[in-house]
Every structure is written in C-alpha cells, then in structure tokens.
Amino acid sequence: MADLFAIIKATEHLEIAYGRDSVTQKEYTTACLKLISQFKSTEAALVKNGTIRSSEEFMQEYNMECPRAVDRLLRTGVPATTLHQMQSAEESSKNEAVLVAETVQHFITAMDALKLDQRAVDELQPLLSDLMDALTRVPGIPGGFEPVSMLKRWLIVLNGMRAVDEIDEEQARQLSFELDTAYAGFHRFLKQG
C-alpha cells in the first residue's frame, strides 16, 4: 500500500511541477508515463489480492487530497502533454510522415483488437492511449478535432473502470463504430492538407 501512496503523491507533485513549468515537457511526459504504468500495475495487484477495494476508497481512507493525481491517474490516464501536444514547426515537418504512419498503425491495432473480441480494460486502454498520443502529435490537428475528443471520452470511461473489468458488447460495438468514424475523419483531415 505504501507503493500506491507514493505513486499518487509523486504524480500530484509532478503535475504541480509541470503546471509551474519546473520540468520540461519531455521530462514530464517520461515521468508521467512511468507513474501511470506503475499505478495501473500496483492498483491491479492490490485490488486482485484484496488489500484495497479501489484507489478512490484508498485515497479517502488516508485523506489524500490529490486532485491533479486523480485526474491524471483515474480520469484521463495519459499525460497532459498527450492531450495538449505542441511541437515546433521544424520538428513537425521532419516527422510528419512518420507520425501519420504511426497514427494509422495505432488506429488499425485498436480496431483489430475489438474485432478479435478484446474487451478487458487493461487490453484496450493502452491501445487507445497510444493512439491518442500518436494522433495528438500529428502536425496541424485542430483543437476541437472530433477523433481526439472521442478518444478522450473513451479513455475517461476506461480509466473509470478497474483493469480486470471488461466493456460489454454494446460498448464494444460503439467503440468500434467511433474508431471507424474517427479513422475516416483522420483521413479527411489528411486529404484537406
């Protein structure tokens, strides 16, 4: 339980440091991804062996006031830099083709996972998180781009569930439909140049 406590507190402090511009985006992203991964595996182990019922109850029991960590670990499940990606023009032009290819790869991987009946949160969340990361790094993606909003909504849903939980058939069909729609929207965005 001490590990879970430390991870939550470390995430809260990292979020505060990032908000104060005390760490670079790269440092923040690397540390945040590591903490999210540690949190997911630690939480899953503690829930599975019955040590805790949920992270929310754990935080209440120990009077942990960590709103930034709650948002990052339990709500979005991805670093703030993934949701609000910014790149220099030079970096964008160099990597644009690679970023587009990676994004397409992540779309296909996520859609294939659903076709193969993968329903568990710990199977789907990393795929959608990787897709979100790749999509937000593509240069020129507008602020209110619907595929990004859709992924954010699904990440919030999945992060509200336990790792061992599974989405039901209706949710799987909806997610599959929304991924197909988002993929088509991404293609339209690319064609518009």
Tokens of 90: 């030079």
Q: Do 101 and 188 share a structural domain? A: yes
Domain total in the chain: 2
Q: Do 182 and 139 share a structural domain? A: yes
- Note whether residue 69 is domain-resident: yes
Q: Do 51 and 139 share a structural domain? A: no
Q: Do 183 and 104 share a structural domain? A: yes
- Note whether residue 31 is domain-resident: yes
Does pTM surpass 0.85? no
- Cα separation, 60 vs 65, in Å, equals 8
pLDDT in tens, 15-42: 999 989 899 888 998 899 899 889 988 9
- Note whether residue 86 is domain-resident: no
Q: Do 182 and 106 share a structural domain? A: yes
- With contact defined as beta carbons under 8 Å apart, do 103 and 144 qualify? no
| Mean pLDDT within 137-146 | 84
- Cα separation, 129 vs 176, in Å, equals 15
pLDDT band at 8 (very low <50, low <70, confident <90, very high): very high
Q: Do 125 and 38 share a structural domain? A: no
pLDDT band at 63 (very low <50, low <70, confident <90, very high): very high
pLDDT in tens, 153-191: 999 899 888 888 999 999 999 999 999 999 999 999 998
Residue 84 has pLDDT above 70, yes or no: no
Percent of the chain, pLDDT > 70? 93
**Which CATH number does the domain housing residue 143 bear?**
1.20.120.1130
Domain boundary among 54, 81, 108: 81
Which residue range is the domain that position 103 belongs to?
93-192
pLDDT in tens, 115-124: 999 999 989 9
Calculate the dihedral angle through the C-alpha atoms of 11, 14, 18, 20, rounding to the nearest 10 degrees.
120
- Cα separation, 105 vs 43, in Å, equals 29
pLDDT of amino acid 147: 92
- Note whether residue 121 is domain-resident: yes
| Mean pLDDT within 106-134 | 93
Residue 166 backbone phi and psi in degrees, to 5: -125, 145
pLDDT band at 7 (very low <50, low <70, confident <90, very high): very high
Nearest to 118 by CA among 186, 54, 175: 175
- Note whether residue 76 is domain-resident: yes
